[in-house]
Structure 1
Amino acid sequence: MELQILDVLQTIHNQALDTIMCAITRLGDAGIIWILLCVVLLILPKTRKTGVVLMAALLVDLVVCNGILKPLVHRIRPFDVKTGIELLINRPTDYSFPSGHTAASFASVMALYLAGEKKLWIPTLVLAVLIAFSRLYLYVHYPTDVLGGMIIGIAAGAIGYWLVKKVQELKNI
């Protein structure tokens, strides 16, 4: 059924959308957009605490997704199952579950939300949804990879926030 969903998405492909989806997915490559945002937040004194929360969330996400789940689950990517698909991006070489692009995106959204960044979390949510959709559109993840990435990302964001809060409480003892 998941391949059928991906196949339906193949029917909406056109040159403009292909270009847009490739660009959107590149923003999530290696978490670059979220790392850059983290650096900016860390540099600015007013947002430094938020930057620390975002950094913690991204580190939790990295350990859980890339360090634990991808090697443990070993899920083959959809383009390796349905080999006739022409990829529009470079072929990912790691495993499919969970979607790391999606997890990092939603970890960032949750971290920003919990840190109280009202002006940032809503636009980042829009970007996170677009990045998640791009992974399906580009046939590099199954829908459950993206759903799993969303759940893991939200949890990583919450854990990152909680860890920073606990460290701050220990410093105040």
Structure 2
Amino acid sequence: MNIELSILDWIQTLHTPFLDKIMVFITRLGDAGIIWIVLSIVLLLIPKTRKSGAVMVVALVVDVLLCNIVLKNLVARTRPYDVNTGVHLLVAKLHDYSFPSGHTAASFASVTALYLAGEKKLWKFALVLACLIAISRLYLYVHYPTDVLGGILFGVISGYLGYRKVLK
């Protein structure tokens, strides 16, 4: 875990007032998966993209069950700011565990769902946003790098399972 804290501490050296505001904004887009939920609803409302919206909804449900209910409580990893208490947080302390990153998992579940559902342009935009959300979690010192990597992995699995359930 020391190398992970070293990485997070190095990221802290990149802070600027402008980046602080941007990263807080980006991370808030992922709060409770709101950006992905809204996108799912929009896709469900458009007949041409309804199946893609359904894949996203199922992927997000699988993600919540797998990551937030099972894995976070099973692993019960302490957040980095609770280990290094000297860090100034730009967001409120969270009341759940660190592994995996739920913001990252929901983001990559959505990207994977969009990609597999054939949303040729939308998945690329979603991938950029998902990567920014993942980076914001490190920048804000609320997750370890392996939490984010775990979020990517379990997000991709959730997206694939959503796709399999709806379109296969």
For this structure pair, what is the TM-score category when the shorter chain's length is used for normalisation?
over 0.9
1:60 corresponding residue in structure 2: 62
Flag the structure with larger Rg: 1
Q: Where does structure 1 differ by over 6 angstroms across 4 or more consecutive aligned residues?
A: none
Alignment of 1:133-172 (within 5 A): 133-166=135-168
Aligned length: 166
Gaps of 5+ in 2: none
Aligned residue in 2 for 1:170:
none
Question: Any idea what the Cα deviations from partners look like across 1:16-37, whole Å, max 9, x if unmatched?
Answer: 0000000000000000000000
- What's 2:93 paired with? 91
Deviation at 1:91, TM superposition (A): 1.0
CA shift at 1:165, angstroms? 2.3
Write the distance in 2 (CA, Å) between the matches of 1:67 and 1:165.
Answer: 25
Superposed, 1:1-173 pairs within 5 Å as: 1-166=3-168
5+ long unaligned stretches in structure 1: 167-173
TM-score w.r.t. length of structure 2: 0.98
**What residue identity is the alignment partner of 1:86?**
H
Which deviations, in whole Å up to 9, do the C-alpha atoms of 1:57-104 show, x marking residues without a partner? 000000000110001100000000000111101111100000000000
* Identity level (%): 66
| TM-score, reference length from structure 1 | 0.95
1:148 and 1:73 mapped to 2: Cα distance?
A: 12
Amino acid paired to 1:52: A
